[in-house]
Chain A
Amino acid sequence: MQLNELTIKSSAAGLRKSEFTALELTRACLNQIKIYDKEIGAFLEVYENEALEQAAEADKRVSAKKSFGELDGIPCAIKDNMLMRGKTVSAASRILENYKAAYDATVVRKLRDAGVIILGRTNMDEFAMGSSTETSAYKKTRNPWNLEMVPGGSSGGSAAAVAARMCIFALGSDTGGSIRQPASLSGVTGLKPTYGRVSRYGLMAMASSLDQIGPITKTAEDAAIVLKYIEGNDRFDATSVKAEIRNPKSEIRNLKGLKIGVPKEYFVAGMDSKVEKCVRDAIERLEKLGAQAQEVSLPHTEYALAIYYIIMPAEVSANLARFDGIRYGASIPARTLKDVYDKTRGQNFGVEVRRRIMLGTYVLSAGYYDAYYKKAQQVRTLVKRDFDKALHHVDVIVTPTSPSVAWKLGEKFDDPLTMYLSDIYTVSANVAGVPAVSVPCGFAHDLPVGLQIIGKQFDDEKVLGLARVYQEKTGWHTKKPIF
């Protein structure tokens, strides 16, 4: 096995036992990027020299027996919407093409303090708006399992980089499924933590009440390791929660007596039958391992997508107002201030970004606020109550992550509504603020299928624990693409 194919767990052990160096590990990843990224397009920028310097520093620490811990010397990739001081970070948009971050996002600072090697920034849908990474203003990312297919989105670059073994792990962000769906389509593991668990300081905000940063890894065990390092209360993020809320007692070692809820609303006519079979097989497997599956109901499921596409664009329209050509970013010279705004934004935001800003502006505008935004916030309460009720009777809820496997590049691009429907299984977790992980559970049409495990708020460890036991007993997550 090549070094870049290792997990965090196994590379940390290897470094500790001096079986190889951080430099060798980093070189293996950089090499993989050199050979395959021209085709796959996961990275927007690779920091080769810095990565090698950081690796050399990590090796010094290992020799001096002063390692920072489990993540020291481990190469990772960061999605292009998390600020890294002194670096261009663009949210895959032209409006930030030459923007240089003046500070590190809290998660980046935490990872740096842990000794992580940052290999580069990964491609994404522009401002995280999309489910295929096709709206990036810079390039397309291809699915390592089939280069004609999308990797999913919006964290498609991060998911593809992990799937293609270009890094040991990556960070993504998830507002309506943007970590879990690309993880599912690219055959890797992706976690969206409970809202507020990981600081959003330094994450370019998309929808402030829904966004969360999370790990994309080869295993659930690795995801748990990354979560330990990136989570925590942050005085610079007023929505981050205090440590006392953490639930370590919710960790599980085996599945005996664990109750799994299977929501009837998630298995409907029209879903891909082969995808459904993979997921049903996975549930059966969990039962064989001791869990008890039972049907549950999440009655407001059919409304979750609609309220997501009201709340999210509304928050987007407020969050993207700062990109106005004044303090930073692209700026079109014009005679009046309003022209500077109109032209800068009109010419430097892509179509999907402008569409969502307009949708959000409309639902918040005078005369429509009650009918759309207020209504959506009320239905949001009902969606949260659905989860609270269901999770009162079961420990976790298990669903498909995506209604389909990866599709062809360009296939869904021109119809926004069709694209939005691919989020149908993931948005509810953001709406309800609950943790959810996607793990590989099989293949359909020769492409990866993901199983989603959803838990109560702050039951991240339970969700990851179940995923870990599932992975220990099956081998889907060990499969890698051949290219």
Chain B
Amino acid sequence: MKLSLEQTEHIAHLARLRLREEEKEKFRGQLSSILDYFEKLAKVDTKNVPIISQITGLKNVAREDEVLGCDAETRKLLLENMPMREGDLLKVRAVFE
């Protein structure tokens, strides 16, 4: 499966990854070879085969939605990780422009 440069750029856009110009062709080529490798799956007969995404058969695992609270030390660690802060508020660029 050969990817075009536009497709490569589109994927990077979806993935929110800025690629450098000189990298685009390299990624295009490598992704294309990997996708070629996947062609062999077309040979597998999967008619009526169900998908499996939960490998141990668990269903509907839930727990009570209870507020556990947060101790001061944890709060401090969380706040200190924020790249941009104003007091205890997380600061971000405008979501809508």
**Chain A residues proximal to chain B, CB less than 8 Å:** 85-86, 99-103, 194-196, 209, 235, 238-239, 241, 300, 302-303, 306-307, 309-310, 317, 321, 324-331, 334-343, 345-347, 349, 351, 354-355, 357-359, 361-362, 365, 372, 374-382, 384, 416-417, 420, 432-433, 457
Contacts and interface: CB of A to CB of B under 8 A. Distances in A.
Interface residues of B, number: 50
Contacts of B23: 351
B18 A345 contact: yes
A306 B40 CA distance: 8
Contacts of B3: 362
Contacts of B62: 238
6 contacts: A235-B63, A303-B40, A328-B81, A331-B83, A351-B23, A358-B27
Nearest to A96: B81
B56 A457 contact: yes
Contacts of B54: 209, 239
Contacts of B81: 99-100, 102, 327-329
Per CB-CB distance, the 5 closest pairs between chain A and chain B, nearest first, are A346-B18, A433-B55, A331-B83, A377-B51, A328-B81
Contacts of A306: 37-38, 40-41
A345 B15 CA distance: 9
B11 interface: yes
A358 B31 contact: yes
Contacts of B89: none
Contact of A86 (B16, B40, B52, B77): B77
B14 A432 contact: no
Contact of B93 (A196, A337, A420): A337
Contacts of A416: 30, 34
Given A416-B30, A417-B33, A343 B74 contact: no
Contact of A378 (B27, B40, B49, B78): B49
B33 to A, nearest CB: 6
Given A86-B77, A303-B44, A416-B30, A381 B50 contact: yes
Interface of B: 3, 8, 11-12, 14-20, 23, 27, 30-31, 33-35, 37-38, 40-41, 44, 46, 49-56, 58, 61-63, 74, 77-78, 80-84, 90, 92-95, 97
A209 B35 CA distance: 22
Contacts of A325: 83
B56 A342 contact: no
Given A102-B78, A326-B90, A347-B18, A379 B31 contact: no
B90 A327 contact: yes
A380 B27 CA distance: 27
B44 A358 contact: no
Given A309-B34, A381-B52, A328 B82 contact: yes
A102 to B, nearest CB: 4
Give the interface SS of chain A, mostly helix, strand, loop or mixed.
helix
B17 A346 contact: yes
Nearest to B94: A337
Given A324-B16, A336-B93, A382-B46, A101 B52 contact: no
B83 A375 contact: no
Nearest to A331: B83
A361 B41 contact: no
Nearest to A360: B15
Nearest to B79: A102
A379 B46 contact: yes
B84 to A, nearest CB: 7
A377 B27 contact: no
Given A306-B41, A309-B34, A362-B3, 4 more contacts: A100-B81, A300-B44, A302-B40, A330-B83
B46 A432 contact: no
A358 B17 contact: yes
A375 B11 contact: no
A434 to B, nearest CB: 9
Contacts of B63: 235, 238
B16 A342 contact: yes
B50 to A, nearest CB: 6
Given A362-B31, A378-B51, A238 B17 contact: no
A328 B94 CA distance: 18
B41 A337 contact: no
B55 A432 contact: yes
B23 to A, nearest CB: 8
Contacts of A238: 58, 61-63
